[in-house]
């Protein structure tokens, strides 16, 4: 089983919101939030994958796109 990959599917909104949250998480002292250093590798891998898959991150209206995605994902 070791090395077997898991595929996670996200909507663009989910990916955008998650990417931004992971970016903020990585800018904090991860040691305070993540108590097991083994978790850092998958967190960085997910963040890197999202960065490559989301051209929205480099759009001039990124903040507006992120706000709109958050609004659509919040329960009413």
Helices (H), ranges, 1-76: 12-27, 30-33, 40-53, 62-73
pLDDT in tens, 20-62: 998 888 888 766 777 888 888 898 899 999 999 999 899 999 9
So what's the pLDDT on residue 40? 84
1 within a domain of the structure (yes/no):
no
So what's the pLDDT on residue 39? 86
Half-sphere exposure of 16 (CA within 13 A, CB side): 22
The pTM for the full model equals: 0.84
CA angle 7, 11, 12 (to 5 degrees): 115
The count of domains in the chain is 1
39 within a domain of the structure (yes/no):
yes
Half-sphere exposure of 73 (CA within 13 A, CB side): 15
65: confidence class by pLDDT, cuts 50, 70, 90 = very high
Half-sphere exposure of 51 (CA within 13 A, CB side): 9
3 within a domain of the structure (yes/no):
no
């Amino acid at each position: 089983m070791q090395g077997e990959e898991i595929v996670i599917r996200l909507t663009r909104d989910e990916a955008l919101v998650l990417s931004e949250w992971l970016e903020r998480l990585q800018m904090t002292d991860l040691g305070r939030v993540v108590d097991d250093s083994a978790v850092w590798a998958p967190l960085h891998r997910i963040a890197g994958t999202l960065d490559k898959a989301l051209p929205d991150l480099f759009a001039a209206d990124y903040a507006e796109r992120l706000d709109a995605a958050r609004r659509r994902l919040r329960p009413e």
